[in-house]
Amino acid sequence: MLFAAVGTVGLVLLLNSAFQRQSHSEFIALAETDADYIRDSIEAKNQAQAGGTPARTSAQFLSAAHSFQTEFVAGHPSQFLGVTFAFQRQTPPDARHESVTIPVNSGVELTLIRRRPVLRDVLLQPVSIGAVMAFWALWFALAWAVLSPYLAAQRFGLLGSIATSLAHEIRNPIAAIRLHGQLLEKTEPVSAGLIVYEATRIEDTLNQWMFLARPEPPRKTEVDLAELIGKTVCVLAPAAEHAAVHIAVIAAPSRRILADVPRLAQVFHNIILNAIQAMPDGGNLAITISEADVSFADTGPGFSPLALRRAAHTLYSEKTGGMGLGLSVARKIIRAHDGSLLLGNRPAGGALVRVIL
C-alpha cells in the first residue's frame, strides 16, 4: 500500500509536470500564431491604403493601441470575428497567472495572460485518468504476484508445522498396530491384512504431509519399475478386491530407472488408489510400462473438466472426504525426478494417467 500511495503521488506529479510543459508550449504557439495574424493584418491594411482601397481589418482595431496610449477605453470594447476585446494597461500577472509576450512590429507587442493550469485540470484529463488506472491495475497484478507465493508458503508452513508435530505422535502407534496385525496373520489372515493395510494407509498419508512440509531432493537408486509397481499392487490388493477392481500389469520389456524408491512408490500408490476409489462398483485398471511412460487406464467415470484443470492442485479433491493430496504430491515427486504427470480421459471412457520419467 505504501508503494501504491508513493507511486500514485509520483505519477500525478509527473503527469502534472508534463501537462504544464505541454500547456505552456501550446500557449506560446498560440501567442506566436496571433502575432503572425496581426502582422499579416497590418500588412494587408497598409497595402490596401497604398492602393486607395479602404480595408476594414483587424489591424484597424489592433493598431488603435497607439492612440489609446495604453489607457483602458472603458465601455467601448470592439469586436472582431465574434470575439469582444479591449485595450487596457498591462498589469504584471500574479502567481496564479502566466503571460507570454511576442513582438508584433516596431514598438508593438502582443501579451497574452491566462490562469495557470491547476492540478485539478491535470487530473480531469482522460490521459491522466487512464494512466492512474493503468498504474493501479499494474499494482494489483504485482501485489497478487508477490503475495500469492507468500500466502501459499504461509499455508504450507502451517501444514508443515502440523505434520511435523503429529509425525512423532502417530508413527509409534502405527508401528504397534502394524506389528499386532502381522502377529494375527496366521490365525486371522483377513483381519490381519485389513489392519496392516489401514496402518499403511495412515502412514502413507502422514508421509505425504511430511513431503509437502519438507520437500527434499530425491535420493536415487536403481529400481525395476515392474517390480515396484507389482509390490504396490500387492499392498493395495485388499482395497481392489473389496471394490471388485481387476488390476492388470503389462510390462514388456522390463524397465529399470534411477529413482527415489519410497517416493516413486508413493506416486504409484496414489494413482492406483485413486483409480480403485473411482470404481466402487467394480471395474478394470490396466497399468502399462513402456520405454516412454507408465500409463494407468481405468474404466471409471474419468476426470471432470474442472478436475482436469485443478486435480493436481494441493488441497483440491472431488472425492467425499478427500484432502486433495494424492495427485498433488505425485506431481511434485515426478517433477523432482525431472519427469511429468499427465492427466486425461480415454476415448472409450475412464481416466488415463501417464507418468513420464
What would the pLDDT profile of 261-282 be if each residue is shown by its tens digit?
A: 888 888 898 899 889 988 988 9
- Which among 289, 229, 293 is positioned nearest to 261, based on CA atoms? 229
Q: Which residues touch 78 (CB under 8 Å, ≥6 apart)?
A: 61, 64, 84, 85, 86
Is 94 a residue whose pLDDT tops 80?
no
Contact 101, 109 (CB under 8 A): yes
Contact 311, 343 (CB under 8 A): yes
Q: How confident is the model at residue 297 (pLDDT cuts 50, 70, 90)?
A: very high
pTM of the model: 0.50
For residues 207-221, average pLDDT? 73
Between 215 and 271, residue with greater pLDDT:
271
Taking the CA of residue 310 as centre, how many other CA atoms within 13 Å lie in the half-sphere pointing to its CB? 10
What would the pLDDT profile of 114-165 be if each residue is shown by its tens digit?
A: 887 888 777 888 888 888 888 888 888 888 888 877 777 777 667 666 666 7
One-letter amino acid at 96 equals R
H-helix or E-strand spanning residue 357:
none
Q: Which three cell numbers stand for residue 309?
A: 484443470
- Which among 352, 332, 197 is positioned nearest to 264, based on CA atoms? 332
Taking the CA of residue 295 as centre, how many other CA atoms within 13 Å lie in the half-sphere pointing to its CB? 14
Is 335 a residue whose pLDDT tops 80?
yes
For residues 2-8, average pLDDT? 83
Cis peptide before 253 (omega within 30 of 0): yes
Q: Phi and psi at residue 11, in whole multiples of 5°? A: -65, -45
Q: DSSP letter for 75, please.
A: T
Neighbours of 256 (CB within 10 A): 11
Between 111 and 347, residue with greater pLDDT:
347
Query: What 3-state DSSP class applies to 335?
Result: helix
**CATH number of the domain at 219-357, out of 3.65.10.10, 3.30.565.10, 1.10.1060.10, 1.10.8.60?**
3.30.565.10
Q: Are strands 294-298 and 340-345 parallel, antiparallel or unpaired?
A: unpaired
One-letter amino acid at 131 equals A
Q: Which three cell numbers stand for residue 75?
A: 465601455
Q: Are strands 256-259 and 294-298 parallel, antiparallel or unpaired?
A: unpaired
Is 20 a residue whose pLDDT tops 60?
yes
One-letter amino acid at 265 equals A
**CA-based angle 294:295:299, to the nearest 5?**
155
